[in-house]
Amino acid sequence: MEFALTLVSPNADALRAADTALAAAGLAVKSCVSLGPHALDLKIESAELAALRADTLAAVADLPVDVCAQPVQGRRKRLFLADMDSTIINVECLDELADFAGLKAEIAAITERAMRGELAFEGALRERVRMLKGLADSALQRCYDERVRLNPGAATLVRTMVAQGVRCVLVSGGFTFFTRRVADLAGFHANRANSFVISGGALTGEVGMPILGREAKLAALNEEALTLGISPEQALTVGDGANDLDMIKACGLGVAYRAKPMVAAQAQARVDHADLTALLYFQGYCADEFVPA
């Protein structure tokens, strides 16, 4: 069976070395084309996709190269769902907000455990927000202005997919105060997230119901696909934490971005070296199709 194998790296020498390593590993490469200065797209004959992925990862293990192996047909997706914190943006908003309350170390430690899957997401979220009770709501805007930045390639990724008619949705276990602004900045069609309860100009320490967590992200994938009249197989998802894992595993191409180990191990592809435009290359887009930020 023929598969598409995409190699992406910020280092052109690493790409050439990866191409050589694959040939040395005996993989049946039928063709190789450049998608741009940072990506090669190969067509490979293989009996089984899982074996191809394993063989490719082993061949390039010592190189700063991200790889994606998938069927040739259906690479370009019609729906894109993305996690926000540490995926589309550079920080965990709740951790940065905690800094304004002098609690960053304590709250960040809980966040890390939750994202690794060591704590139930809903309970960890409630605990962290409870610790912020009494924080002035003006800290929200300060946090956004001073700390939140799009990760490299995020705006180009979203704007290119929107230009191609793809529905793009930001789905976060974080908070709508931030997702609304990030969605507008990056160009998403819509956003889903949790809400703070605010009274008298301060956080009450409560989270608005219902809480959007791991199951809700999967539900968002299924609901958005149903609305479009497509299957989840025609969707692309990306995230980094345990609460992203269900949607990553349920779609056509689930990508782990700078992810926690349990997520990286179970995603169909991972991005550890390149920026977020790797997700465009994985779908077969050429660099000259990218919509600049």
Pick the catalytic residue from 85, 95, 244, 246.
85
- What average pLDDT score do residues 204-214 get? 93
Q: Which residue has the tokens 């040395």?
A: 24
* Per-residue confidence band for 28, with pLDDT thresholds at 50, 70 and 90: confident
Which structural domain range is residue 292 located in? Answer: 76-91+149-293
Summarised one tens digit per residue, pLDDT across range 269-293 is 999 999 999 999 999 999 999 999 8
Are 53 and 180 in a shared domain?
A: no
Are 44 and 81 in a shared domain?
A: no
* Per-residue confidence band for 1, with pLDDT thresholds at 50, 70 and 90: confident
pTM, entire model:
0.96
pLDDT reported for residue 23: 86
Q: Read off the CATH number of the domain in which 224 is found.
A: 3.40.50.1000
Pick the catalytic residue from 41, 55, 66, 83.
83
139's tokens:
């800290």
Establish whether 13 is a catalytic residue: no
* Per-residue confidence band for 188, with pLDDT thresholds at 50, 70 and 90: very high
Summarised one tens digit per residue, pLDDT across range 44-60 is 988 899 999 999 999 99
In the chain, how many domains are there? 2
Establish whether 55 is a catalytic residue: no
